[in-house]
Structure 1
Amino acid sequence: MKFFKISIFVVISLSVLICGCGNALAVNKVDQYVTTIEQINIPDDVKVIGLGEATHGNVEFQELKKDVFEVLVKNENVRVFVLEGDFGGGQSINQFILSGNGTAEEAVKALDYSIYKTEQMVNLVQWMHDYNLTAGKDEKVYFYGNDMQRYDYSKKGVLDYYKVVNADAAKKYATKLEHVSNGTMRDLKKDQLIDIDKTIDSIILDLQSNEVTYVEQTSTETYAFALQNAQVMKQRTQLLLNDGDYLKLRDQYLADNLQWIVDFEAAKGHDKIFVTAHNGHIEKTSASLAGYKSMGNYLDELYGEQYFAIGTDFIISEFQAKNGVSGERQIHTVKNHNALVDAFSEIESNVFYVDFEKASKSDRLLDIVSKEQRMSNIGDDFRAWYKFFKKFYTIEMMPNEAYNGIIIVKKATPTNVIE
């Protein structure tokens, strides 16, 4: 009987250690350090505001994209929204919110990411469209993607530009790139990818060599987009050619593309932008065990205190994600207890914001946000057994080094992908 009791104790202890099911203590009078989303305050000298999401498959985290952006448009004069999504597809969404051609749902599908084919993303894009209907010329909002994992819309952008400035080149490059698409890219052989890379280098060189002539026929802006579309195509090709460095290169490219957007929009008078992506891309410390430098780390080096990062976390989440083996989308439930979220567990609101500078006025909270702990970090690939090992759905990080603040969702619910 004694052995049986010891065994039970060991099993329970291991379960708490592996699953992270133990609760830390709530902090008394912690409500004074909490604000609503509408009360988020950003320092005046900030250029880039980042919002992370703890999962790609929760309603609340996708709704936060719109909710936070609305606040920034109203209070911080932010006019530029950047999504961890396809650069070329993002231009299609931008055309919709500016011109109104098509529907919000069609625009969202241009991204070619299942995680964004949701009611929440459609609502975001529709809101941006509706806002622009009554906004003055200098008040309109703009949409970008800064990812490079697709070909179709960037390819179309390049070829459409050549149809205007150089018809012969348009035909030549259309032939050379006819086998390049979202649907075929993963089946391309290495020698094909090398040829594609050379073709894109030729396009980039041609655009750069003929900048003056091409700009005279079009505009500085359309030329800039054509060149950037070509750069994004090269990035996509390089990812396929360097699969072993995929994660490392992708975050570097995410940061490069974001910097291009920042500079491009600054020239138009927009000195603040909002970017939203997975927590692992937004946080500043490259905490992932995968060993790559995060976009947020690059941004922190580029902009210093002018980069303001907001993370997200949950206490319990029922979310949807794709099984990387079967390809099926499934609903999973996980709990994440760490000292930070548990300190605020008695707050009545389900969604609230904690600014770490404000929270640091409490010695207890300063101690919590200054210590490493496991914070939620779930991508779009999740297997049922992951939930039994906390390292598969969290990253160990020091909150106040990774972020400037955090939005906590006590209970998160799953999105539904629109097929």
Structure 2
Amino acid sequence: MHICLQWMGKILLALVVNVFICCVSFAQGSNKISFSEIGPLSLDSSTAWVERVFNTSLNDDVQIVALGEVSHGGYEPLALKAKMIQYLVEKRGYRNILMEFPDIEDIWPVRQYLLNNSVKELSIADSLAQTTTTGLLNAQEVFSQLFRWLKLYNLAHPQEMVKVVGCDLSRDEGFRPFFLYNYIIPFDPVNAQRLLYHWENNQVSDSLRMDAINTWFNVNKSRLMKEMTKDEFSELQYHLQDETNAIGHKPLENSPLPENDPLSTKYRDSIMAHNVIYFTGSQKTIVWAHNGHVSTLNWRMGKYLKAYYKSRYFILLTDFSNEANIYAIVGENEVAGGNRAIREQHFTTARTSISYNLLKNYGISSGIFFAPDIPINKVYNDINVIDLHGKQFIQSSDQPFDVLAIFSKINPSSKPANNR
């Protein structure tokens, strides 16, 4: 009897040990998350690693791929987005790129350069990158490489050229005189003289000037259509509408009242969504913008586009799990007409962010994660957001993306700060 009890005790102990081992094994197994490593970001390197990640996960019926950046002032997210463009153009047939920039003052010169195959000088791409990127050296570096790559691609594929367009609201007051001197004066010098005399009065607002331009355009529309190509006329219509929308947005943007901030955001993003839909048409399109714009948060561009395109709208966001040293613009908004300066600023990731908790709970500091593979109950659901002026926010939503690319650290340029 004593021997039997001893054997029963050993059996029970063995069962307890086996159950414990099974539980530990199950816990270890549950700590495994499916993700992919981020490969080389240089446009001189192959897209093989990007193909392995996205060839089967990015459906052919996706019409818009939206590429988000956690900050305009960090190098790695922008470099990844440029790499994605290389892949989407070369391997997936995307030929239309819409960027979070005003078109006529920033992207129009880039478009003219890229589509003119009689111009082959690559150094022009560097100059265009410098004037486009508002002094942010990281963006200048990435855009210089991207514009060069797109130029070489268009030269080699004259029948399948890539087109870039700015989809943001205009920020340039020069459009009114530009339209007057390039359209009204050549077509209608009598009315042009009247407008010139009227506009010399500094009391005439931008809104009234734009009203006069729109009135003249509507009266002379049929005549302009005969003198212009279909594409030229369509582009002119877009700029007129975009300038009109920009003037409507300006009072909200410049308002000192905090309650107007969400109204300003909603206005701007709804117009950008409209512009994206207008320029996309039936084309496969890439949208380049900040995380906040392309995500599906309320009032954001991505919310409108997701409702319109549904599963044909695919979102890639970027984030960091440790720290970010990025460029930010300071001084610009402090006083009217204030000087802008570029400063390097340091940020740490939010403790409620997905990126922080993937590192804390799973030991994963970087990688590419598809939304279904992220255990939202264990890693929260926040994304870091840093705006152009260096303010850090938390973007909270129920995983407002299809894929999240996380970097352990974000640097202000391709060379880490301690190596510069």
CA distance in 2, matches of 1:97, 1:341: 37
Residue by residue over 1:67-112, the C-alpha shift from the partner in whole angstroms, topping out at 9 and shown as x without a partner, is 1111111232110111111111211110111223771133234547
CA distance in 1, matches of 2:109, 2:200: 21
CA 344–210 in structure 1, closer or farther in 2 if over 3 Å, else same: same
CA distance in 2, matches of 1:26, 1:408: 22
The partner residue of 2:406 within 405, 408, 417 is 408
- What is the match of residue 370 of structure 2? 355
Residue by residue over 1:142-183, the C-alpha shift from the partner in whole angstroms, topping out at 9 and shown as x without a partner, is 11111124225745763434466445556665666689xxxx
- What is the match of residue 3 of structure 1? none
Residue by residue over 1:304-341, the C-alpha shift from the partner in whole angstroms, topping out at 9 and shown as x without a partner, is 22211111111121111122447432222222144632
Residue by residue over 1:362-393, the C-alpha shift from the partner in whole angstroms, topping out at 9 and shown as x without a partner, is xxx25457x5x3311001112xxx6xxxxx43
CA 82–351 in structure 1, closer or farther in 2 if over 3 Å, else same: farther
CA distance in 2, matches of 1:119, 1:178: 41
CA 113–207 in structure 1, closer or farther in 2 if over 3 Å, else same: same
CA 155–96 in structure 1, closer or farther in 2 if over 3 Å, else same: farther
- What is the match of residue 60 of structure 1? 76
Residue by residue over 1:237-286, the C-alpha shift from the partner in whole angstroms, topping out at 9 and shown as x without a partner, is 222233334323211221122222113xx3xxxx2111111111111023
CA distance in 2, matches of 1:254, 1:303: 15
Which letter maps to 1:95? Q
CA distance in 2, matches of 1:349, 1:130: 37
The partner residue of 1:249 within 245, 264, 267 is 267
Structure 1 residue runs of 5 or longer lacking an equivalent are 1-24, 180-187, 287-292, 387-391
- Superposed, 1:170-181 pairs within 5 Å as none
- What is the match of residue 331 of structure 1? 344
Q: Quick check: 1:26–1:344 contact (8 Å CA) kept in 2?
A: no
Which letter maps to 2:289? A
The partner residue of 2:221 within 211, 221, 224 is 211
- Superposed, 1:299-378 pairs within 5 Å as 299-315=305-321, 316-324=323-331, 325=334, 327-336=340-349, 337-338=351-352, 340-342=354-356, 344-345=358-359, 352-357=367-372, 359=373, 365=375, 367-368=377-378, 371=380, 373-378=381-386
- What is the match of residue 91 of structure 1? 108
CA 170–105 in structure 1, closer or farther in 2 if over 3 Å, else same: farther
Residue by residue over 1:8-27, the C-alpha shift from the partner in whole angstroms, topping out at 9 and shown as x without a partner, is xxxxxxxxxxxxxxxxx997
Q: Quick check: 1:59–1:413 contact (8 Å CA) kept in 2?
A: yes
- What is the match of residue 380 of structure 1? 388
Which letter maps to 2:145? N
Q: Quick check: 2:353–2:383 contact (8 Å CA) kept in 1?
A: no
Q: Quick check: 2:71–2:386 contact (8 Å CA) kept in 1?
A: yes
CA 334–405 in structure 1, closer or farther in 2 if over 3 Å, else same: same
Which letter maps to 1:354? F
- What is the match of residue 94 of structure 2? 78
SS at match of 2:327: strand
CA distance in 2, matches of 1:206, 1:49: 38
Q: Quick check: 2:385–2:394 contact (8 Å CA) kept in 1?
A: yes
Q: What TM-score results when the alignment is normalised by the length of structure 2?
A: 0.73
- What is the match of residue 67 of structure 2? 51
Shift of 1:56: 0.9
SS at match of 2:325: strand
- What is the match of residue 128 of structure 1? 150
Structure with the greater alpha carbon radius of gyration: 2
CA distance in 2, matches of 1:259, 1:77: 18
Structure 2 residue runs of 5 or longer lacking an equivalent are 1-27, 39-48, 415-420
The partner residue of 1:273 within 273, 280, 285 is 285
Q: What TM-score results when the alignment is normalised by the length of structure 1?
A: 0.73
CA distance in 1, matches of 2:367, 2:69: 14
Which letter maps to 2:246? R
Deviates more, 1:237-246 or 1:295-304: 237-246
- What is the match of residue 297 of structure 1? 303
Structure showing greater relative contact order (alpha-carbon pairs closer than 8 Å, 6 or more residues apart): 1
CA distance in 2, matches of 1:176, 1:413: 51
SS at match of 1:393: strand
